Amino acid sequence: MPTREKILVALSGGVDSSVAALRLVREGHDVAGAYMKNWVNEDGVIGDCPWEADIADARRSADRLGIEFSVVNLMTEYRERVVQYLLDGYANGLTPNPDTRCNREIKFGVFGAWARDHGYAAVATGHYARRDGAALHEGADPQKDQSYFLALLQPAQIAAARFPLGGLTKPAVRQLARDAGLANAEKKDSQGICFIGQVKMSDFLRAYVPDRPGPIRRIQDDRELGGHRGLHYYTLGQRKGIGVPSNTDGERYVVVGKRAADNALLVAFDHPAAPGLFQREVRVHSLSWTGAPVTAGQSLEGRVRYRDPRVPLEFVPEGGGLARIRFATPQRALASGQILALYAGDRLLGGGVYV
């Protein structure tokens, strides 16, 4: 039996966090649940922000498990540390990742500090990742592994984190929920922005970042093909919703860049030779390590985005939180602002942000 701990579970209202709490209760820990109230749709953003229903679902799970439940208001911190980061990034032509930011700054940041202040030894979530002492590893279910989103966590945050679902598959989690009589056993997973709900990113950006129209130009010859509403609506590698039709041969355009000088969205036909679409070498900044910093010469792999397989790479540190990354094979559409997660086998070593 594991050592009994006082653990606060971040109950989101979904099945994963509820089963995380269930497993910890069954292991004999002193467990309580809390819902992080990070966003209320007070600004009228188009979309479904079901925070009230989520709180009700989280409370029902806590009642079923016989654990205390509370709501922790982190709206100010979330707006300052995640929403503003997101908006600033898009306004500056980047494609930021709010989920990795939310994990470091909110779930295992201010929420973790709130838990410590209230006497809890650890915070548990429904992430599909495995913690072995001070080390983080991929979740056992390759279809649900979420270690990528934990790439920017600090060692102290990992030490106080618990991931009860790391060794389970999603079907097994739902079966545990059914067997335990949890009302959210069949609830669909949220696909929205981290803790904002079912809000499309384009709708969210439209509400907060002013449109700045400009031309769409073909990168090979700088021919103007149309117009766009604002560069912040597009990301490198995007194929749908560009607003430029395929040519007569059925070739589709893909976004290959953004040019600040004339506010132009750059496109090319979608094939491996498209300029700027594939990169063998990139730089990353804001390097963060889950343990000891990585040095040059180590055999590493990287996950260039969530759900992509790990790929071999060469890591060349440059100092000041910067590094040059050389991939064994060219990688598609590495957008500035996104996250590169670094691994040694299935162990998560840390990550950085594409320059």
Which residues carry out catalysis?
A: 102, 194
Inter-axis angle of helices 15-26 and 170-179, nearest 10: 70
Could you tell me the maximum CA-CA distance found in the chain, to the nearest angstrom?
A: 68
Q: Which residues contact 272 (CB under 8 A, 6 or more apart)?
A: 278, 330
C-alpha separations of 347 from 2, 139, 197, 326 in Å: 22, 10, 30, 20
Q: Are 255 and 266 in contact (CB under 8 A)?
A: yes
Scanning the structure block, which residue is given the tokens 């907060």?
208
207: Cα within 13 Å, side-chain hemisphere = 14
Burial track 102-122 (b if 16+ CB lie within 10 A, e otherwise): bbbbbbbbbbbebbeeeebbb
